[in-house]
Structures are given as C-alpha cells and as structure tokens.
Structure 1
Amino acid sequence: MIDLYYWGTPNGLKITIALEEMELDYQVFPINILENDQFQPDFLRISPNNKIPAIVDQDGPNHQSISIFESGAILQYLGRKTELFYPKDEQSRVEVEQWLMWQMGGFGPMLGQNHHFSRFAPERIAYATDRYVNETKRLYKVLDQQLIGQDYVAGEYSIADMAIFPWVKRYEWQQINLEDYPNVKAYMERIEERPAVQKALAIQV
C-alpha cells in the first residue's frame, strides 16, 4: 500500500495518474495547501521542502517502508518499482529522463510563475507577467515541435508524459490558445482519453 500526500495541483495529479496507470494500491491523505497543512511537523518529516506530492511506500525496497518527496523522484521510483512506463534500455530511458527533467526544470516552474503573476499576484506587474507568458509560449512551441510525427514526447507513453500533461491541462490559466499548438492539442486529447487518467482526474479532495 502506498500513502499519497496530495492536493489537486498539477504536481499532485502527476502521481495519481502514475498510480492509476500502474494499478498500484494507494490511499490519499489530503494536504490542504490553502490552510498551510504542508507546514505541519508530521508532513515535514516526509517532505522537508513542505511541498506536495509525497508518498510513503509501505512495501519499499527490501520490504521496508520508504518515503519520497519531489514528483519527478516519485515518478522514477514508481517506474522502477513496477517496470512500467520507464524503459530499461539506456537509450530509451535517457530519452524519457531528459523530457522529465525538461518538465521539472523548466515547463513546470515557468508555467507556475505564469499562474502566479497572471492570476494570483495582488497587483499586475507587466514585466513579470510578460516574461513568464512569453517563456510559456516558447516552451509550448518546444513541446509542439517534439510531438511532430509521434504520439508522446519520448515515442512511447511514459512517466514524462504523466509529468507534462497536468501542466498543459491548465493552459487557460497561462494565456495559451491550444489551437496555436496543434500537436500539443492532439497530445492532450490522446492522454485525456486514457481510462487511468480519467480516474485520476475524478479524484476530489
């Protein structure tokens, strides 16, 4: 059994998608980031950076419990644990990892800043908003180019797609018109049709 410490953010959705796709047993423990649950001592022992998601796998390596924070690390761990959606051969694995790191290091953080300055900042700061909207558009173009002639970013459906999809899901928050990125639009529709993704999207906390 895997304990998932979760809130309904793009990073949280990555892990529910993975758990559903990999058909792992899990239970959800809501961490309400709007009420600062992420700063509670019990949660900080699992996720010292006070961010969701985090997991505790009761049946980890050598049948010992293990806790993991950071969504990318969780995806890699689950991929290794199940041998699903994370190739074993080095060339294919590197292809998946570089797109996972692209999401973790650029796509997610830049879109997150876009969300903040476009929707939540107490005052509009034109320079900041324009900077992150423009960077968001650049990253969408990179993704659109990568999807030319293939269904998924690394060829086969993988943990990299599970990481990217939840952030594109909020494209309307980002001043993005998906019609400008036809390959991304088709990619989103393709992933959203997957039964496991539908189950993950239905989780309400």
Structure 2
Amino acid sequence: MIDVYSSATPNGYKVTVMLEEVGADYTLHPVNLSAGDQKTPAFLAMNPNGRIPVIVDRSNNNFSVFESGAIMIYLGEKFGQLYPADPDTRSRTLQWLMFQMGGVGPMMGQANVFYRYFPEKIQPAIDRYQNECRRLFAVLDSRLSAAEYLAGEEYTIADIANWCWVRTHNWSGVSVDGLPHLQRWLDALYARPACQRGIRQPERNRTPDDIVRGAQNIVVR
C-alpha cells in the first residue's frame, strides 16, 4: 500500500516506527545517501528538496509526501492512530512534534556535525550545540514529569518523533544523566516491539557514513 524511501537516520526511523506501530503494509526502498540516491531525478520528482524520508501512497493515486513530520501527520490521519481526535490532545501532539522538528532535530544534527564530522574541532561550536541539546532534553524531562507521554496519557506521533532523535544522544555527545523522567520514557519506548522493529528496518542499507555509525549500542538494548 505504501512505498517508503528512507535510510538509517533518526528522521527515517520516525516513519518506519510509525508504520510498524499502526500495522501498515509497506515496502521499504533503502536510499543510499553516500551514493547520492536522494539527488537523482527520480527521487527529486518525489521530493524537490532531495532529503529522506519520502512515502508514496499507492492506495491514494500514488500520492507522495515528504518531510518526516508531514508524513507522520498524513499517516496519523489516514490510519486514525497515534494522532488524537480530541482537539486539545491533538494540539499538544502537534506542539511537541514541532518541538522536535524545530528544536531537537536541528540542534542534535548540528551537534553531530561539529562533534563527529567536522574535521576541525571548534570547541565553542561543540559546546553551543551540545548545551542546547541538553537544555531541550531538560524541557522534555520536565514535561514527562507531569505526564506519561508528551501529549498527556496517550502515546502519539510526538513521542515517536522525539524518541527517534533523543535515543541517539550518545552519538551527539550529550548525556541524559540526571533526567529520570526522560530516561523512563526512553526505556518505555525501547520496550515497544514496534519501536524495536522500526529502528531495525532501514539498517539493511547501513553504510560507514551513516548518521548512527558507532552507536550500535543504542539501537536495541
């Protein structure tokens, strides 16, 4: 029913975890980022921005969706799962989804660049992004001290989106020590079979340059 064009990155995992959670019938098409598969004309026809993930819904006239957050909303509406019907809970879900899209993802991505990939170690840049990641983790910890999940007592796409990034905190060089509520929530999602399956799916296309290279200890524990 759904074709998924993705790779082993936190944004890629967001889609495969969600599809596993809702029990959807999907076909995974691994995208080799190192080889530039995401810049081919065929891929750019689906996503002009040349980024993964992308889905194509074969049951909806081959409708394509790019941007991981937009994909999660589309799938939530399509399957009627993980996207609350209650207006207030849905709003909280979207708020925490945007928190990941605008904060956690970009800041952890920059921490990865300067801490892991940049040839010159520019310590002020490393400190700036790692400290901001830690601040965002503390915000999540505070929220999770008041509720089981980010939107409240209901597990939603907001939890999946944030978890797929926060679980890679070691790769960004950011500790979660002293954040007990965040750690409780991380462990709770690790225990979900669909989360375990979802973060394994794109690994068939792992390369040495993968964003989670060297962090195998946090894939499944």
Between 124-133 and 69-78, the greater mean CA deviation after superposition? 124-133
SS at match of 2:3: strand
Q: Which residue of 2 aligns with 1:93?
A: 90
Query: Where do residues 1-205 of structure 1 align in structure 2 (5 Å cutoff)?
Result: 1-60=1-60, 64-155=61-152, 156-203=154-201, 204-205=203-204
Q: What is the CA-CA distance between 1:201 and the residue it aligns to?
A: 2.2
Unpaired segments ≥5 residues, structure 1: none
Q: Give CA-to-partner distance per residue, 1:127-158, whole Å, 9 cap, x none.
A: 21111011011101101001003221111100
Deviation sequence 1:16-56 (CA, Å, 0-9, x none): 00000011100011111111111111001111111100000
Q: CA RMSD in A?
A: 0.9
Displacement of 1:89 in angstroms is 2.1
Paired positions, count: 202
Aligned partners of 2:134 and 2:175 also within 8 Å: no
- Measured against aligned partners, the alpha-carbon deviations of 1:51-105 in whole angstroms (never above 9, x if no partner) come to 1000000012xxx220000000000000000110101121111010000001001
Q: Normalised by the size of structure 2, how large is the TM-score?
A: 0.89
Report the more deviating stretch, 145-154 or 112-121: 145-154
Q: 5+ residue gaps in structure 2?
A: 205-221
Query: More displaced, 30-39 or 6-15?
Result: 30-39
Q: Deviations over 1:169-196 (max 9, x none)?
A: 1110122222221111110100011111
TM-score under structure 1 length normalisation: 0.96
Helix, strand or coil: the match of 2:34?
helix
- What secondary structure does 2:133 align onto? helix
Q: Which runs of 4+ in 1 moved over 3 A?
A: none
